[in-house]
Amino acid sequence: MVNYNIITKASLILAFIFQFCNAQDNPRNDFSNFEGFKKVGYHLSGVLYKKADIDKKYGDYKLINYPIVSGRIGFDYAFNHQKNWSFRTGLYLDLIPFYNVEFEFKPEDLDFIDWDLEGSLHWNKKQTNKFVFTIPFLIEGKLQMGKKIFFSAMGGLDFTILNSGQFDFVVSYGNNLNEGREVFAMYGETSGFFIYPSLRLGPGLYFVTKKALYQLQLTYKKSLVPYFKGEYQFGNLDVSEPTRGDYKLSGDFIGLGLTMFLKKKKKNQ
């Protein structure tokens, strides 16, 4: 379900940013340098996705999970780039994660195995291999800090296109290739939406050079709808009772990105 409290807070923050933009209409701010650069900027960023939420229902086994490093690439398109406030959209290709988990089996729970288990009890598994498109709609306010340096504050919404799907991760042990006992399983499914909205906020700095305009930006993204929900279970163990819990990957992340707007070519006279 959509978190309407977050939507309300997002609306208030966006209203504040818009007010900030208008408030900076100061003759000391000179954005004429922006006019010489293209409206399309090439974007690349590294992101760190928040670790999934684990809610254990019962059992002794512990599933440990970690944040997941990923990235996005794409382009931005800036409207009114040469003014103190502007509108930004674009298109990104995001690499979204499934899981980054760690766990370890007790030797006595795998007594049915007749081969040496040394080095086979500990598991640390990560998977990030689903590419999705994201379209941003952002408002940006700028403030001049120096002759060639500008501060920016940006906020708005990202809309991620995520088709219905699922992932699974299974661990089985056996004494030969044809027989195996499943002792761990985890799965996740998309939340049933086609478009996943997210709140996006972040400060940044512009650096004006002769050949390009660079924007370095810190980004925080808060998903309004979680990407994946599912379950995990340890079972079929010789001694320990089964362990079971819920798994939820929100899609929240923090990122550090760089956007480059190239210099416009001069028209021949």
Share of the chain above pLDDT 90, in %: 61
Q: Name which residue leads in pLDDT, 110 or 102.
A: 102
Q: pLDDT tens for residues 54-86?
A: 999 999 999 999 999 999 999 999 998 888 888
What pLDDT was estimated at residue 15? 56
Over residues 195-254, the pLDDT tens digits come to 999 999 999 999 999 899 999 999 999 999 999 999 999 999 989 999 999 999 999 999
Q: Does residue 119 or residue 194 have the better pLDDT? A: 194
C-beta of residue 232 within 8 angstroms of C-beta of residue 244: yes
pLDDT of residue 85: 86
Domain ranges of the chain: 4-263
pLDDT reading at 266 higher than 70: yes
Q: Look-up: residue for tokens 């004494």?
A: 175
pLDDT tens digits for 111-140? 777 655 555 688 888 887 789 999 999 999
Whether 269 shows a pLDDT value over 60: the answer reads no
